[in-house]
Amino acid sequence: MTGPTADTTADPHATVPVVVAIDGPAGSGKSSVSRATARALGFAYLDTGASYRALAWNLLDKRVDPSVPDAVVASLGDFDFAIGTDPDAYFVRVGATDVTEAIREPRVTGAVSAVARIPEVRSWLTERFRSIMRDTAFDGIVAEGRDITTVVAPDAPVRILLTADEEARMARRSKELTGESAAAVGEALRTRDQADSRVVDFMKAADGVTTVDSTHLDFEQTVSAVVGVVNDRVARTNETTPRH
Ligand SMILES: Nc1ncnc2c1ncn2[C@@H]1O[C@H](COP(=O)(O)OP(=O)(O)OP(=O)(O)O)[C@@H](O)[C@H]1O
Ligand SMILES: Nc1ccn([C@@H]2O[C@H](COP(=O)(O)O)[C@@H](O)[C@H]2O)c(=O)n1
């Protein structure tokens, strides 16, 4: 299915990719819902958290301490990572190593916030994200993370805060991580949100950002709600964009 496209003002025959920016706290459904939304719209999907995770994985692999900013920044020079943006062919690689699964391990999750709070890391990755969004061959791209609506793509035509109350998020995460106790899963989720929200505010919607609260929605209903916001915002953007 082909999704909506945004008109450009300069050339009526040219289109720029529609950027759908989605932020939210841990376990709110950003990755799974964004990927399903991208699939439904025929768009690309950019998982920015996976890039922060890949960097944390690389540091642990090279025995660099993620809490030492100078060492982390120095490692960026030879940080060679690639991420798949086709929602049907998702992968994360560091050099020749496929780390798609490894970056979800608790040891990486436990290290990632320290890495993400370093300003040089944020600006280095932000540039990568912007170039991936700009160069996509798809009609649009759904990019999800913590600062996409506010820092990475504040001018995106569609900006969404995807949220759910803490109880629902903890329950969903616990279901996935069957090897860990619900208490440990809940504590890890809360600690990470607290650390991350000292760096960027993803708990409340910035001006112009639409909130989708999935607390009382199942997965399919949440995807439909997000697709509905995209179609509505793109239709409005096209109505108000002058044609030449
Ligand atoms: N509306 C929903 N109802 C039930 N389960 C859901 C819903 N939305 C997402 N989920 C499930 O919740 C779990 C967490 O979702 P997901 O990993 O996409 O969250 P996330 O926001 O990307 O988390 P993190 O930031 O920690 O990576 C997944 O198992 C997903 O399938
Ligand atoms: N835009 C973003 C995305 C992620 N982070 C940091 O990465 C961690 C992992 O993200 P997940 O979405 O995969 O859970 C997250 O805890 C943040 O520390 C970020 O800072 N900005």
Q: Per the annotation, where are the binding residues for ATP?
A: 24-32
**Residue whose CA lies nearest to ligand 2 atom number 19:** 146
Q: What is the pLDDT of residues 96-126, one digit of tens each?
A: 999 999 999 989 999 999 999 999 999 999 9
Residue 164 alpha carbon, nearest atom of ligand 1: 1
Q: What is the pLDDT of residues 44-68, one digit of tens each?
A: 999 999 999 999 999 999 999 999 9
ipTM above 0.90 for this complex: yes
The percentage of the chain sitting over the pLDDT mark of 90, rounded to a whole number, equals 80
Q: What is the pLDDT of residues 148-199, one digit of tens each?
A: 999 999 999 999 999 999 999 999 988 887 777 778 888 888 999 999 999 9
Task: Output the pTM of the full model.
Answer: 0.92
What residues contact 154, with CB distance under 8 A and at least 6 apart? 206
Residue 243: pLDDT band by 50, 70, 90 thresholds?
low
Domain boundaries, the chain: 16-233
Distance 164 CA to ligand 1 centre (A): 10
Per-residue model confidence (pLDDT) at position 237: 84
Which fold does the domain 16-233 belong to in CATH?
A: Rossmann fold (3.40.50)
8 Å CB contact between 142 and 37: yes
The answer to whether the CB of 24 is under 6 A from ligand 2 is no
The answer to whether the CB of 222 is under 6 A from ligand 1 is yes
The percentage of the chain sitting over the pLDDT mark of 70, rounded to a whole number, equals 92
Distance 146 CA to ligand 1 centre (A): 14
